[in-house]
Amino acid sequence: MPAARTTTRRKGRSPLATPYLLGLPVILYIGVVLLYPIGVNIYTSFTRQELLSNAPAVWVGLGNYARMLHDAAFWNALRTTFIYTFLVVVLAMVTALLVALLMNAKFFGRSVVRAAVTLPYAFPEVAAVLVWSWMFSQQFGVLNRFVRAVLPVSENVHWLTEPRLAMVSTLLVTLWKIFPFYSLVILTALQTVDLELYEAARIDGAGPFASFWNITLPGIAPTLSILTLLATIYSFRRFVTIYLLTGGGPGTSTQTLVVRVYETTFRSFDLSYGATLGVVGFLVTVVIAGGYFALQRRLSDTPL
């Protein structure tokens, strides 16, 4: 007769608990670093509290939100934020796509061009913005010298002190800083498109534009969509470039919601109202991300 098999049960934790134990550090990190500060910020938005005051917080309920609805500066900052975000996303995606198509083509010195394109992204943001601020200087900036040398202009251009030019200058620096990353990501997506599709299209008589529209664009569409979402969130919370260049000025022409939060909290010392503005900004980004994923899910479920 076969020998009887003996089974031994391991003492200790159940194997079903192993995945939860392995994920516990991540859960703790998310809870402590992300969820707890968000919760504190939301709670603060329902109170009245000054930044440098030792007085206890006073519960005011929706008082800060009611104040926000009648705050013209808030609506102006929100409008500026949407304008800035829209322009950055459109310009960055178009520029990144064109540069990626250029870098994907075969030409002499392509490696040098690819390395040169990554340089703006490699520079520290604060140092780069300060250099741009010097270049925009009305009195001794190199951009004014270039403009006077190329165009029939006798007076220096007020790059950072004229409202419309200040927004244009801010967009230029932002675009210069962020497009290299998007270009490299799109370049990676371009290299995953099957080359045989282009060969088949060429045999069928398709031109370059038709190949781009029917092969290239659908092939990199998932990458473009997620980059658009990232660019939107990135632009919506952009602070360093705007604050170092213009400080939100002249006036409030470049004051986005993030800059408004900073001014309210650390200049006016109104911690509770600054938290309220921060909650609204957080909710807007959540709605944008949620809308994106809902749209992606709906499109993936739609039959061709």
**What CATH number is attached to the domain comprising 136?**
1.10.3720.10
Query: Which residue in the block uniquely carries the two structure tokens 């309220």?
Result: 276
Position 178 in a domain: yes
Q: What single letter denotes the amino acid at residue 274? A: G
- Residues in the chain, total: 304
- Please state the pTM of the whole predicted model: 0.87
Range of the domain at 102: 87-255
What is the per-residue pLDDT for 232?
Answer: 92
First to last CA, the chain: 63
Task: Give the helix/strand (H/E) hosting 58.
Answer: strand 58-59
- Please check whether residue 96 lies inside any domain of the structure: yes
Does 6 map to a domain? Answer: no
pLDDT of residue 14: 63
Q: Are strands 47-48 and 58-59 parallel, antiparallel or unpaired?
A: antiparallel
| 161 assigned to some structural domain | yes
What does the pLDDT look like over 24-46, one tens digit per residue? 888 888 888 888 888 989 999 99
Q: Give the chain's domain count.
A: 1
**Rounded CA separation 84/61 (Å):** 32
Does residue 184 form part of some domain?
yes
164 belongs to a structural domain: yes
Residue the block writes with tokens 């500066």: 73
- Cα–Cα dist 267/273, whole Å: 12
**Residue at 153 is within a domain:** yes
pLDDT for 85 equals: 95
151: in domain: yes
* pLDDT single digits (tens) 235-293: 998 999 999 999 998 989 999 999 999 999 999 899 999 999 999 999 999 999 898 88
Tokens representing 23 are 């994920």
Q: Give tens-digit pLDDT for 165-223.
A: 999 999 999 999 998 999 999 999 999 888 888 888 888 888 888 888 888 898 999 89
